[in-house]
Amino acid sequence: MEVPFIYGKITTGKDFCDREKETTYLVQYFTSLINTIIISPRGWGKSSLVNKAAKLAMAQDCNLRICHIDLFNVRNEEHFYSLLAQKVIAATSTKWEEAIESAKSFFSHLVPKISIGTDPTNEVSIDFDWEEVKRNPDEVLDLAEKIAKKKGLKIVICVDEFQNIAEFTDPDYFQKKLRSYWQLHQSVAYCLYGSKRHMMMEVFTDSSKPFYKFGNLMFLNKIDTPCLVEFFKSRFADTGKNIDDEASHLIAKLVDNHPYYAQQLAQLSWLRTKDVCTVEIVREVHTALVEQLSLLFVTITETQTTQQLNYLKVLIAGEKAISSTEVMHRYQISSTTSISRSKAALIKNDILDNKAGEISFQDPIYAYWLKTEYFAK
């Protein structure tokens, strides 16, 4: 039997939950060639959303091509240029012979090093002499625009883990270079997103940064409880099982509507269910999940300072007047400056999220573990 509820990879079809409004907007942006920046914490479904919108957009417009690039393991400009050229050519070619021809014909000064695997259907691999690229960056950065105009296409380049360009040598200069070329393109648009929300916010909302106001900002929210509940019930039913309303609501509550954890807890509950998933099953699974992740949480907690942990304890306790003398004394917080420093560091390390001044935990299971295990001792 096919296991419902997918997490940790791209979700499609029935496994994709909600995001109807965001999907509609993104399809419109893609078909209209509007630059888009998607911002949300890790595990909220950005990649799945982009993937779904890309397929729908290309189904609507036969001249549209979507190019997907993942910068997860890209740590320098040289790798970036090679990957960009390779993915653009692959996305705009129908067969490998055409890809090789494109790799040769669209460069004036650069001589691409082309290789293919033993399977001709594999993507063509492209590399360049780095010294030549440094002298002629436009050859790669304008490649998509040249191909689009020559072939009568519209192209959207979707770049995941975009914040990784901060690891490059002189990242601000590199961003300026990217924007100086990309903002001139008429037949190409860009969809930029990544898993480190605070870094993405810094790149796209800081007026001193090159990519400030580069495109439409799309902030993802958590999925509403009614949508999650309906999704759980539907997927259980698709596989000949059922889940009662109370159990469905409990899954959403225990994971604070976090998309990744909602899928994970629902899948684990489904695996333990023979006929009907109950509250008891969900609680058993949740306890097991917390225990499973506890070693990771211990490791994360050990990297934090005493003042940062004291600040987290205040948040867990639900204190409102955090900077009051009484609260700081009770939780052994040294000063209001310490609060600011702890908050900034925890946001930078993706422990906390700051959305319009509202501070929350990015990982609801970690927050639960802190409350019931670590701080309960």
Give the pLDDT confidence of 55-90 residue by residue, as tens digits: 999 999 999 999 999 999 998 999 999 899 889 998
Indicate the average pLDDT of the chain.
92
| Burial (CB count within 10 angstroms: exposed 0-12, middle 13-18, buried 19+), residue 2 | exposed
**303-374 has CATH 1.20.81 classification:** no
Q: What percent of the chain has pLDDT over 90?
A: 75
Spell out the residues 6+ positions from residue 230 whose beta carbon is closer than 8 angstroms to its own.
Answer: none
The residue whose two tokens read 């409990």 is: 250
Could you tell me if 325 and 215 are in contact, meaning their C-beta atoms sit under 8 angstroms apart? Answer: no
State mean pLDDT over 280-307: 97
Could you tell me if 7 and 263 are in contact, meaning their C-beta atoms sit under 8 angstroms apart? Answer: yes
Q: What tokens appear for 201 in the block?
A: 């916010």
Q: What is the H or E stretch that residue 283 is in? A: helix 279-302
CATH topology of domain 225-299: Helicase, Ruva Protein; domain 3 (1.10.8)
Is 19 in a helix, a strand, or coil?
A: coil
Residue spans per domain, the chain? 19-219, 225-299, 303-374
State mean pLDDT over 332-354: 95
Q: What tokens appear for 216 in the block?
A: 């439409």
pLDDT higher than threshold 70 for residue 259: yes
Lowest mean pLDDT among 102-106, 176-180, 326-330: 102-106
189 has which bridge partners? 156
Of 47, 83, 7, nearest to 161 by C-alpha is: 47
Is 292 in a helix, a strand, or coil?
A: helix
Q: What tokens appear for 370 in the block?
A: 């802190």
Please spell the DSSP secondary structure of 302-319, one letter per residue: HTS-HHHHHHHHHHHHT-
pLDDT higher than threshold 60 for residue 149: yes
Please report, in angstroms and rounded to a whole number, the separation of the first and last CA atoms in the chain: 42
Could you tell me if 240 and 4 are in contact, meaning their C-beta atoms sit under 8 angstroms apart? Answer: no
CA 127, 132, 137, 141 torsion-angle sign: negative
Predicted TM-score (pTM) of the model is 0.90
State mean pLDDT over 272-301: 97
Q: How confident is the model at residue 117 (pLDDT cuts 50, 70, 90)?
A: low
Q: What is the reported pLDDT for 183?
A: 96
C-alpha pair distances (Å), 270 with each of 13, 72, 242, 276:
19, 32, 9, 9
38 has which bridge partners? 193, 218
Residues, the chain: 377
Longest dimension (CA), the chain: 72
Q: What is the H or E stretch that residue 225 is in? A: helix 225-238
Q: How confident is the model at residue 123 (pLDDT cuts 50, 70, 90)?
A: low
What single-letter DSSP state applies at residue 2? P
Task: For the beta carbon of residue 162, count every other beta carbon within 10 angstroms.
Answer: 26
**19-219 has CATH 3.20.110.20 classification:** no
